Amino acid sequence: MSVLCWGRGAAGLSRVLPPCGRPVLLAKEGTLGGVCGPRRSSSASPQEQDQDRRKDWGHVELLEVLQARVRQLQAESVSEVVVNRVDVARLPERGSGDGGLQPPRKVQTGAKVASPVPCSGWTQRLEKEKQVQRMHIQQLKANLQMQVQSGEFKVLPKHLQVKPRLLSKQLATFLAPKSSWEEQLPRVLQEAPRKLSLDVGRAPSTQAQLSGQQQKLLAFFKCCLLTDHLPLAHHLLVTHHSQRQKQKLLTLDMYNTVMLGWARQGAFKELVYVLLMVKDAGLTPDLLSYAAALQCLGRQDQDAGTIERCLEQMSQEGLKLQALFTAVPLSEEEQATVLKAVHKVKPTFSLPRQPPPAVNTSKLLRDVYAKDGPVSYPKLHLPLKTLQSLFEKQLCVELASKRNTLQTLRDHWEKALCRVLQETKNRLEDEVHKGRFSLYPFLCLLDEREVARMLLEVLQGLPAPGESFTTLARELSARTFSRHVVQRQQLSGQVQALETYYRKYLHLLASDTKVPNPCLPRQYWEVLGAPEALREQPWPLPVQMELGKQLAEMLVQATQMPSSLNNPHGSSRLVPVLYHVYSFRNVQQQIGVLKPHPAYVQLRETAAEPTLTFEAVDVPMLCPPLPWTSPHTGGFLLSPTKLMRTVEGATQHQELLETCPPTALHGALDALTQLGNCAWRVNGRVLDLVLQLFQAKGCPELGVPAPPSEAPQPAEAHLPHSAAPARKAELHRELARCQKVAREMHSLRAEALYRFSLAQHLRDRVFWLPHNMDFRGRTYPCPPHFNHLGSDLARALLEFAQGRPLGPHGLDWLKIHLVNLTGFKKREPLRKRLAFAEEVMDDILDSADQPMTGRKWWMGAEEPWQTLACCMEVANAVRSSDPAAYVSHLPVHQDGSCNGLQHYAALGRDSVGAASVNLEPSDVPQDVYSGVAAQVEVFRRQDAQRGTQVAQMLEGFITRKVVKQTVMTVVYGVTRYGGRLQIEKRLRELTDFPQEFVWEASHYLVRQVFKSLQEMFSGTRAIQHWLTESARLISHMGSVVEWVTPLGIPIIQPYRLELKVKQVGGGIQSITYTHNGDISQKPNTRKQKNGFPPNFIHSLDSSHMMLTALHCYRKGLTFVSVHDCYWTHAADVTVMNQVCREQFVRLHSEPILEDLSRFLVRRFCPDPRPQKLSRCWEASQLKATLQAVPKPGAFDLERVKHSTYFFS
């Protein structure tokens, strides 16, 4: 439902990129008429249809092995193997009536075509076996048809089990009650649970502890409640409970889910049945169980005696009545029903009062939430009516969808998909009747037409080279879940409530309204009393993969096109639109890929549709995002958005966020809201120039990708038969390189097409970028294709929608920013950078006036497109009558000086390291990379004098550029091996360096770089070693590393050993995926220890950024960031610089390492218990290491406040 079709208007961008290396086919528009024909169950071809049917008739394993061997022999020297022969539709050629297209032929590297595999005895036997099986199937079909026609074949009625089979004889007596079911309820509650044998474990307490099968079952029961298939859920629960082995899979949550469904219908009999099964399973009812029972009593208006006995039993089990309304997730209507039942017994009982909003008491955030200090929270530049109109547009975007073109075929495909979907649902429903899990309720969540349209949208966006089958399955399940969440909010009345409260919320942001007490957006939303959004947990990964696979197979099965487009009205054979191939990654691994038929690709190109279709969550918002108020509420209006991005299948991060105190997340929630509230617009002048290059042949030197047609071609396409094997092998490698470059160019071109199409659509509009964070606390915009975290070109296309007059110093900051972007004066002080800007003012103005025809000075900059955008802004400012009054929209950046090392130097109070990374005030900026290069050069000279050959060879080659990447990444955990590869790459770029010494020289240099860093940053290396060793010991004890950031965000490293490999079999292909949601898996010690130092530093730089963002917001500034690069208006750079330095000092004035040590000891070194001697020794070693915090140096942090080049 949440799909957009963005038009590109005057840009005229081509929708479909030409496939790599494939000749362009021509077809006339309007050649498709009323297309219809028999639907096939084939996934790709008649041969594949035979394969699917033979699986029911034996000998299948031998046949499949033999067929796989045939494919393997035919695929030698070919990177991809077409599993099924593709029938290619004949498209009319220009000037002819029938013309054609031959199927793509796979050619070996060399001149001649790959010869067919010689026929042998076993291949003949294979063909004979195929013929026998086909005849057998035809005979069975004929017999079945005769039975149906004669009436002998009858469909048995579907029967759903209601009454359970109980193992406890005492509990079984309740199945034949002598009194009403209402009177039975309190008696069943009073019964003691059946005693279980010792081998039966307790039910898992968290989602991460459930097995994959348990996760699927729980999701099935919940989904049945949403789709009105409660009897089906009850049937599956009863069948599982009746079998000892399957009963072990059932948890109290599953019983409660079905019980809650019956409570909503007031069905006492079925509810008591479920309650009996709970007791029979040896489980004790919890708060949710009693909430269901009381809800059922409330709906039936039962007498007080029954209700009183239920409440008494609940009290005896230690459950508090108040907790029913605070700890159980019930809707308002359900709460009212439970309260109605309670009032019959306790008329004076009232709901617990809502506590006042809690306030974060962190020392670092005390000033942010202070009531007494001066505040000037910024307002948007738009009036209330405009914002309300934008809200309506965004709401329509997330609720509705627009689709068009290729309509004749698509109408036919939509009907075929609906038929296939209905048949699949019938088959899966039968599976549930047999007591087995199936995807039936998940396929019932959306209307069949909605599912069909969604599948066709995915087909429309499928690239010509195809898409991984597994990736496609993930995308389809994600789209289904997103549409389901939006639809559920519509049906529950959430959308109407959102409209009411959001309109009130806009009074806080609009330029022409005032609120009595200015506050942060989250605080204002809470004061409004907006109801909390529905908590919709993502489906378990096994369900996602199975559902996505099922949908992908339906898409393949239902979409077909006529083999002859010349005569669409006549009889024509149908061929599949999608076909399946395997791409070999290596000898042991092959990836299944779904590729669109070449004729379909050409049909799309000929149609040249002027639109691209995006999911709503993939594009910027047209109104301010919802404020983040909890881990599951914020960002987009209706579409589900995660607060914390996690690796697929991991649930621990979300559980940590849900269980930590709400106030602990206030800093992160408010910072993300503030970043998302920044309004943006497109820089139209830059976009026009970019589109001009893009529509020509691109310009890779300026970051505009060239089309795949410009990809390099091998020097020789063919070789004579007599060519030497070495020459053939060389041509094969060259061909592989060319294909790799062509694929990369295609990918870059497609990415650019998305970005430029969105930019063109959003031209002259205001838009917003909602933010979330990764598991370390680093923030990212949610829309992936068009945001300020991209390349130089992507950043140049964006500017602040709200302008700010330059003021007395703004123009100077614009000029300094311009010089910073060029990279020409990195080591010069600010005054010299400003003077340089005045010297090259003619070049700046020429670049602004004639960017493509003038002297093109801007093209020589490190960041050319941002330099050009700044040239245009400077030109407009200097030519205005009053530069101080000129309203500037261009973001000005202040970048940290090797920010990771800055945090390390501050943690260790390392005076030498602090001076190297500009924590210490100085007249000129210190360059740590040049400092390391100089130190390495000292070591090289010493070794050269001792006669070391490699040191002598490196004379004159040790530069800043050679060591920069290694120095930059060593703080983020790069190893000596990784550092050597980085240096090797730099040395190979030096054309005059003898290449035969590269390997030896890179080994030598990486040792010297690490040695230099050890001398220059002794405190840094000590802290890094302590973090690494602590993580090694923690993971060796069987735990993953956790910590809490200074702002209170809980962090857990998701690296575990041997992630469980799951497989979804059957159909077109099996899907194998890794599942790391199981917390029973052992930690990956190598990743835990290597990841802890960089991840911990990333959590500190995110804390510094969030503190800066919140304090800038309090002062009325517009602020956004790209990690350690901070952006604001030119007029506000001075204020932002002050805030940035103050918050860095405040952050590192806290005992960060000591707090970390105490947390780790408390978390991983519990009270000693009797255990093995070796385990006791490991625990004592861990505790000693965690408490051995490195001693700090003598650097005075206050000096950072006076350092000009700390951020510059």
Positions annotated as catalytic residues are 895, 964, 1124
Helix (H, G, I), strand (E, B) or coil at 836: helix
CA distance 387 to 381: 10
CA distance 511 to 379: 6
Phi/psi at 136 (5° precision): -65, -45
Structure tokens at 458: 């995915």
CA distance 562 to 603: 12
What is the Cβ-side half-sphere exposure of residue 807, based on CA atoms within 13 angstroms? 12
Of 639, 633, 632, 675, the C-alpha closest to 787 is: 675
Q: Residues of 58-81 as b/e, b for ≥16 C-beta within 10 angstroms?
A: eeeeebeeeeeeeeeeebeeeebb
User: Contact, 232 vs 432, CB < 8 A?
Assistant: yes
CA distance 11 to 757: 8
Residue 238 CB neighbour total at 10 angstroms: 20
Q: Residues of 671-705 as b/e, b for ≥16 C-beta within 10 angstroms?
A: bbbbbbbbbbbbbeebbebbbebbeeebbeebbbb
CA distance 114 to 725: 16
CA distance 530 to 899: 40
User: Contact, 632 vs 500, CB < 8 A?
Assistant: no
The residues near 910 (Cβ < 8 Å, ≥ 6 apart) are 904, 1017, 1018, 1019, 1020, 1193, 1195
CA distance 997 to 1001: 6
Q: Residues of 345-384 as b/e, b for ≥16 C-beta within 10 angstroms?
A: beeeeeeeeeeeeeebebebbeebbeeeeeeebbbbebeb
Residue 995 CB neighbour total at 10 angstroms: 11
Structure tokens at 454: 């969604």
User: Contact, 711 vs 738, CB < 8 A?
Assistant: yes
CA distance 789 to 801: 17
User: Contact, 786 vs 755, CB < 8 A?
Assistant: yes
Tell me which DSSP letter residue 511 carries: T
CA distance 191 to 156: 39
Residue-by-residue DSSP string for 903-916: HHHHHHT-HHHHHH
Task: Print the SS3 string covering 402-456.
Answer: CCCCCHHHHHHHHHHHHHHHHHHHHHHHHHHHCCCCCCHHHHCCCCHHHHHHHHH
CA distance 855 to 866: 17
CA distance 1125 to 899: 9
User: Contact, 203 vs 251, CB < 8 A?
Assistant: yes
Of 401, 397, 394, the C-alpha closest to 453 is: 401
Residue 386 CB neighbour total at 10 angstroms: 17
Q: Which helix (H) or strand (E) holds 542?
A: helix 541-558
Structure tokens at 233: 């859920």
